[in-house]
Amino acid sequence: MEKFKELWALYRYQIIAGTVALLAAIALLAYRTVKPAPSAEPASLSSAASSALVNSDASTVSNRSPTRVCVDVKGAVQKPGVYYFKRGARIQEAIRAAGGALPNAAMKDVNLAKELADQQIIYIPAEGEQVANQAPAGPAAADPVTGKAPVNLNTATKEQLCQITGIGDKKADLILEYRQQHGQFKTVDELMQVSGFGEKTVAKIKEQVAV
């Protein structure tokens, strides 16, 4: 014990300093071990935010996919015009959106349950108006000479009209313009009322078209 007292008296300052340094080193090591890495959590959050952003964009693109149809309602209705509907809507809904049918509308042959198609023209005839019967469901019979099905003047796109012999971009546009202004063709011969279509022209393409 006497020897320990002598050593303490000689080296007490060195012992105290060493002890303090050792305790400080232990405390620093413990602090570094317990403290989380500063960049780990932000990086994780950044990754999660990025993932959420990607998922949000994907959802937005999905929601923008075409889910509506645009139809043109004409004829004996209260408010003729262009209307938009959810895909799967029926003709009955289109007539209702156009204010309903007029009192003189001939609804006998109108298929109210038919599903709407994009860019479709819905023409409601009046009583006594001569309207060609609608073609039955399914593809039209093919022409025995060309092997091609007739092009429906009331539903054809510009590209389909241009497939008719003798009809180019300009005449196809004239047909679409006439259809937009006057509604559906009642007969193929009504083509002669379109600018640029005379009796001879209509006779040449008569077998290639239908209403």
CA 140, 145, 151, 152 dihedral sign is negative
- Read off the pLDDT of each residue in 175-180 and give the average, rounded to a whole number: 92
Report the pLDDT averaged over residues 190-208. Answer: 90
Q: Who has greater pLDDT, 175 or 142?
A: 175
Express each pLDDT in 69-122 by its tens digit: 899 999 999 999 999 999 899 999 999 999 999 999 989 888 999 889 888 889
**CA distance between the termini of the chain:** 123
**Least confident among 17-21, 24-28, 146-150:** 146-150
Q: Cα–Cα distance between 119 and 122 in angstroms, integer?
A: 10
Check pLDDT > 90 for residue 26.
no
Residue 201: Cβ within 10 Å count = 16
pLDDT surpasses 80 at 210: yes
At residue 182, does pLDDT exceed 60? Answer: yes
On whether the CB atoms of residues 85 and 68 are closer than 8 A, the answer is: yes
Whether this prediction's pTM lies above 0.75 is answered by no
Q: Name the strands in the sheet holding 68-75, side by side, starting at the edge strand that comes first in the sequence.
A: 81-86, 68-75, 120-124
Is 14 strand, coil or helix? helix
Q: Highest mean pLDDT: which of 24-33, 51-60, 105-114, 143-152?
A: 105-114
